[in-house]
Copies of this chain bind each other. A is one copy, B any other.
């Protein structure tokens, strides 16, 4: 079943010279399948096909797009154990996680299917003509969202299903009416090929134009660079490191026609624990956070990498509790030797900084590619002055910062880089004494959490997964939830256009029965 080839539209193709294999970190050995990197010719072919497919795909009905998306979900489920086994062999993650992530992926596809089948998401607005208006007649104007064009999606290392081949970015772009070219993540190219085969099957079964989807293999950065620079690519979705996302953003910004790049990148997800909460729930909080820090071997973008408190005996006790709790957790396998290498290198770098104390470090022997979790602490002044301490250590690691006082806590938060999330742990009433802290944190994050953990990103309309740079490259959009479709559309306006030639969404009769804004009133007629 596994061919190692690219999907250039509906056809498999392997014209390139470079090959690579994926790696089983649990068994610490390469997997068998050989993947062929896409050649420049194949890249151009995929983009040209997508650009041609766009003409048809951007105008098909919401119902047809919904059928396509639901069929992708069906075909992914039909891969059954083959997919789950492939996923586990390429990630070191357990079967439960694989199945959970598959559920999330299928759920995302179906929620976008529901959205576009219903149809109101296009935000149709109609301003009818007022021919007798003085001094100038008002003309009929009608507006709706339309698709941007071919979108390139970069698979994420840490979500082989939910944020890769048929993940959130792809589902949102296909729902919007944009063909998608996936730059498959090299760490799980096999999982990627299986999911791509499901998408291609679904496209063929539901009569989608050839080129609506392509899947390109690559082990390096060149394929992605070429894709983002191609003039027929109109937008980019990326989940990964700040370095990787910024490099793509820079390429896109230098194009003759700059294009939007939505990159969801690094975050250390600050958690502020207020004094009374520390006094009253010290052990409980430590236990909860030991779990959150090590969840998924710390390989979540919402991993709590920074815990802020005001220096006190309670905070010292908390550091001890957290350190003990985290030492009690069994180490687990990371996604890839390179991820493990990066984790160790970043951890070592942070630990080597002045004034950093290691309060927990799992030093016992572990299997190859297993992460040794750690907790460190540092004083507020040192944290404020040393940007290296703000580094994301991708893995089961967290740093507790002991701030001298409330003012230092505020200053530290105000000077943080942009973050996906911020969390306040508070006894119910004490939060009202920390309004400036709350305001400062709100200004730095996309989502704020009360008495919880940042890990666990619910897929729903009210979710914001994004935030000020470098949490994401454009804080005006979310990468998770149905509103993430807005990244791939633009408003388009028809002036005085004949009713029978308008898209159904804007015709007088409202044949699709969607919610529209008509002369300022939201109606379904």
Contact for A462 among B126, B431, B447, B501, CB less than 8 A: B126
A113 to chain B, nearest CB (A): 15
CB distance from A39 to the nearest CB of B (A): 27
| Residue in contact with A141 in the complex, picked from B126, B462, B494, CB distance below 8 Å | B462
**Given A141-B460, A462-B126: A473 in contact with B258 (beta carbons within 8 A):** yes
B475 touches A125 (CB 8 A): no
Give the contacts of A482-518 with B (CB-CB under 8 A): 483, 486-487, 489-498, 501, 515, 517
CB neighbours of A418 from chain B (8 A): 257
Query: Which of B258, B439, B450, B496 meets A451, CB within 8 Å?
Result: B496
B464 and A493 contacting across the interface, CB-CB below 8 Å? yes
Residues in chain B near residue A142, CB distance under 8 A: 462
A461 touches B127 (CB 8 A): yes
Q: In whole Å, how far is A336's beta carbon from the nearest beta carbon of chain B? A: 27
Cβ B501 vs Cβ A431 within 8 A = yes
Q: Does A260 contact B (CB under 8 A)?
A: yes
A344 CB, nearest partner CB in chain B, Å: 27
A143 touches which of B452, B456, B462, B496 (Cβ 8 Å): B462
A18: interface (CB < 8 Å): no
Contact across chains for B458 and A138 when beta carbons are under 8 A apart: yes
Asked if A279 CB lies within 8 Å of chain B CBs, one says no
CB pair B452 A464 closer than 8 Å: no
Return A419 CB to nearest CB of chain B, in Å: 12
The A85-134 residues at the B interface (CB cut-off 8 A) are 125-127
**A240-276 interface mask toward B, CB cutoff 8 Å, 1 = contact, 0 = none?**
0000000001100110011110000000000000000
Contacts of A460 in B (CB 8 A): 127, 138, 141
Does residue A355 face the partner (Cβ distance < 8 Å to B)? no
Q: When the two chains form their complex, are residues A492 and B442 in contact, meaning their CB atoms are under 8 A apart?
A: yes
Q: Check if A168 is an interface residue, CB within 8 A of chain B.
A: no
Beyond A55-B439, A258-B473, A501-B431, whether A463 also contacts B494 by CB under 8 A is no
Q: CB of A446 within 8 A of chain B?
A: yes
Q: Which residues of B contact A149 (CB under 8 A)?
A: 443
Pick the residue among B139, B439, B449, B501 that contacts A496 (CB under 8 A).
B449
Q: Evaluate contact between B517 and A448: CB separation under 8 angstroms.
A: no
Q: Would you call A57 an interface residue if the criterion is a C-beta within 8 Å of the partner chain's C-beta atoms? A: no
Q: Taking the complex as formed, is A224 at the interface, i.e. its CB lies under 8 A from any CB of chain B? A: no
Contacts of A483 in B (CB 8 A): 491
Q: Shortest Cβ distance from A157 into chain B, in angstroms?
A: 23
Q: Taking each of A55, A143, A463, A477, which has the highest tally of chain B beta carbons within 10 Å of its own beta carbon?
A: A143
When distances are taken between beta carbons in the complex, the residues of chain B under 8 Å from A515 are 522
A470 within 8 A of B: yes
Closest 10 CB pairs of A and B: A253-B253, A464-B493, A141-B462, A143-B462, A447-B493, A475-B490, A449-B495, A127-B462, A127-B460, A257-B469
6 A-B pairs besides A260-B476, A476-B487 with CB distance below 8 A are A126-B462, A136-B456, A442-B492, A447-B492, A464-B492, A483-B491
